[in-house]
């Protein structure tokens, strides 16, 4: 069982338990290898970042963690993913239950052409019977947690598509939170947002990590620095693509100068130098 320290922990001796783990995880598309033997352990209450060039396999890895990868029939998965020690890929795993406990937030907000209220409780209603009088309570709690309640409380019956993109992303977060997930997988959740909405999501991540575990794919290294306790850098180098080239505490990884691909990536993402292939 892997144990790690968390960013901002006051007690340096405090350690956290690994709740999500991959062992020699591999993904193939025909003969092409998209992920080659990923080993990582994500600890309870941490924000774990996945960084790396475009095409490295970050989204593919994220989708393995709650088996969204199953929806892509052209891909073959090998190796293990363990959630609280139980095989995510095993027959005994209830996939719907898994996706409730390991929720997901995508790059573009996925909003249904329904009211704000119906969007928030959409997943919960499919998961369990929920009395009409409780729907508002569930929605309010989730919207408050997603810092959207004040902005929408007087128009819960209006179409969600009328919200701004930043509000829509917080609405999607509320829909995920309404399911009370233990882990939230976030795939570049702010890349479609303006700076103010990005800040709102960043603030929420800092708040959410008090109760939940987050795996965050980001291209914004400043965001990774602000939010992530640890990061894994995934390589996209020929022959090395889909492999973890470096993993550890965020600042330690970012300051590695001995890995050319990583320092190119850090320089490029910060606009300091230009990436060379
Ligand atoms: N269904 C698929 N069939 C074949 N190849 C795929 C499939 N899905 C992804 N790939 C390939 O796998 C590689 C990794 O893709 P992935 O989307 O995971 O990268 P990424 O690191 O998330 O990139 P980005 O930062 O651009 O989002 C890419 O080369 C992509 O073309
Ligand atoms: Mg991606």
pLDDT tens per residue, range 165-183: 999 999 999 999 999 999 9
**216: pLDDT strictly greater than 50:** yes
In a domain, 162, yes or no: no
Nearest CA to ligand 1 atom 27: 54
Structural domain of residue 24, as residue ranges? 3-107+180-269
Nearest CA to ligand 1 atom 6: 29
**80: pLDDT strictly greater than 90:** yes
**Strand-strand pairing, 183-187 and 213-217:** parallel
In a domain, 190, yes or no: yes
Q: Report the percentage of the chain scoring pLDDT > 70.
A: 91
In angstroms, what is the span from residue 251 Cα to ligand 1's centroid? Answer: 27
Whole-number pLDDT of residue 11: 46
Report the CATH number that the domain containing residue 219 is assigned in CATH: 3.40.50.300
Mean pLDDT of the chain: 90
Q: How confident is the model at residue 125 (pLDDT cuts 50, 70, 90)?
A: confident
In a domain, 71, yes or no: yes
| Mean pLDDT, rounded, for 185-196 | 93
3-state secondary structure at position 71: helix
CA distance 37 to 66: 18
Look at residues 68, 67, 64 and name the one whose alpha carbon lies nearest to residue 110.
Answer: 68
In a domain, 227, yes or no: yes
Among the bound ligands, the one closest to the CA of 219: 1
Question: Does 34 sit in the ligand 1 pocket, CB within 6 Å?
Answer: yes
**12: pLDDT strictly greater than 80:** no
- Give 2 or 256, the one with higher predicted confidence: 256
Look at residues 99, 102, 106, 87 and name the one whose alpha carbon lies nearest to residue 44.
Answer: 102
Q: 32-36, 132-136, 213-217, 218-222: which range is least confident on average?
A: 132-136
The C-alpha torsion from 148 through 168 and 88 to 65, rounded to 10°, is: -110
C-alpha separations of 171 from 19, 105, 109, 139, 197 in Å: 27, 10, 8, 10, 12
In a domain, 125, yes or no: no
Angle 165-178/116-127 helices, nearest 10 degrees? 30
Q: Which residues surround the ion ligand 2 when the cut-off is CB under 5 Å?
A: 59
In a domain, 44, yes or no: yes
In a domain, 250, yes or no: yes
Q: What is the pLDDT of residues 127-154, one digit of tens each?
A: 877 888 889 999 999 999 999 999 999 9
The preferred substitution site among 51, 57, 106, 244 for testing ligand 1, maximizing ligand atoms within 8 Å of CB, is 57
Backbone angles phi, psi at 17, to 5 degrees: -90, 145
Q: What total number of domains does the chain contain?
A: 1
Question: Does 8 sit in the ligand 1 pocket, CB within 6 Å?
Answer: no
Read off the pTM. Answer: 0.91
In a domain, 52, yes or no: yes
């Amino acid at each position: 069982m892997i144990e790690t320290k968390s960013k901002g922990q006051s007690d340096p001796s405090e350690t956290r338990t690994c709740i999500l783990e991959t062992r020699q995880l591999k993904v193939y598309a025909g003969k092409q290898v998209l992920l080659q033997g990923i080993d990582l352990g994500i600890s309870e209450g941490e924000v774990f970042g996945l960084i790396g060039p475009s095409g490295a396999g970050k989204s593919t890895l994220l989708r393995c963690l709650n088996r969204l990868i199953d929806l892509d029939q052209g891909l073959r998965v090998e190796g293990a993913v363990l959630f609280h020690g139980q095989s995510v890929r095993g027959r005994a795993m209830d996939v719907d239950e898994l996706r409730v406990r390991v929720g997901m937030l995508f790059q573009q907000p996925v909003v249904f052409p329904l009211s704000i209220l119906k969007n928030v409780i959409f997943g919960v209603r499919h998961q369990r019977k929920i009395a009409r009088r409780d729907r508002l309570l569930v929605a309010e709690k989730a919207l408050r947690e997603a810092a959207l309640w004040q902005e929408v409380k007087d128009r819960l019956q209006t179409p969600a598509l009328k919200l701004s993109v930043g509000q829509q992303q917080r609405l999607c977060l509320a829909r995920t939170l309404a399911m009370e997930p233990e882990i939230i997988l976030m795939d570049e959740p702010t890349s479609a947002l303006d700076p103010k909405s990005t800040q709102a999501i960043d603030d929420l991540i800092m708040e959410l990590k008090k109760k939940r575990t987050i795996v965050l794919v980001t291209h914004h290294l400043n965001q990774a620095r602000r939010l992530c306790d640890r990061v894994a850098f995934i390589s996209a180098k020929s022959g090395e693509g889909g492999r973890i080239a470096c993993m550890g505490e965020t600042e330690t990884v970012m300051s590695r100068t001995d890995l050319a691909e990583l320092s190119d990536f850090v320089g490029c993402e910060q606009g300091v130098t230009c990436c060379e292939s």
